[in-house]
Amino acid sequence: MPYHELKNFKLSDKVQITSDIIRNKDFVLSVPPLSGVYLITADKEFERIRGNSDILYIGRSGNLRTRMKYLLKYFLPLDFVGNWGRHTARDALKTIIEETKIKIFLSYVTCQNCKDIETLLLQKYCKNHIESPPLNNQRK
């Protein structure tokens, strides 16, 4: 699914997430502590029930900086992160980054109506592919 759904918003540049702790910390510090929608994407498209997509996760947060810390817990200094709870995509991200050659990217857009935008993006993704993004299905 292309990013044209967010054309009315200024989507941040995609930032590659790696195991580089300092680089990830700098990225987190650059993210504003505002509400918004974020996307986790890969450097290649994956086959879905219908079509292909590079989107692995669509999410929203009332504080994007805190959410990025939450997602990147395993790739940030321990004193920077603290003791965090679970996130549905975090363990899968760790596995992908450590055990595959797939490049993972994060991008976001700040907005006030992030719940509505996330819902719209998920609905369009599901309509296009007949299923949710792969990491949106990680709840246990």
Delimit the domains of the chain by residue range: 3-137
> What's the CA gap between 70 and 107, in Å, rounded?
15
Q: Are 97 and 105 in contact (CB under 8 A)?
A: no
Please tell me the pTM assigned to this model: 0.85
**Residue 58 main-chain phi, psi, to 5 deg:** -125, 125
Q: What is the pLDDT along the chain (140 residues), one digit of tens a residue?
A: 445 555 566 778 888 888 888 888 889 899 999 999 999 999 999 999 999 999 999 999 999 998 888 888 877 766 666 655 566 677 888 888 888 889 999 999 998 888 998 998 999 999 999 999 998 875 54
Q: Looking at the structure, give the CATH architecture of the domain made up of residues 3-137.
A: 3-Layer(aba) Sandwich (3.40)
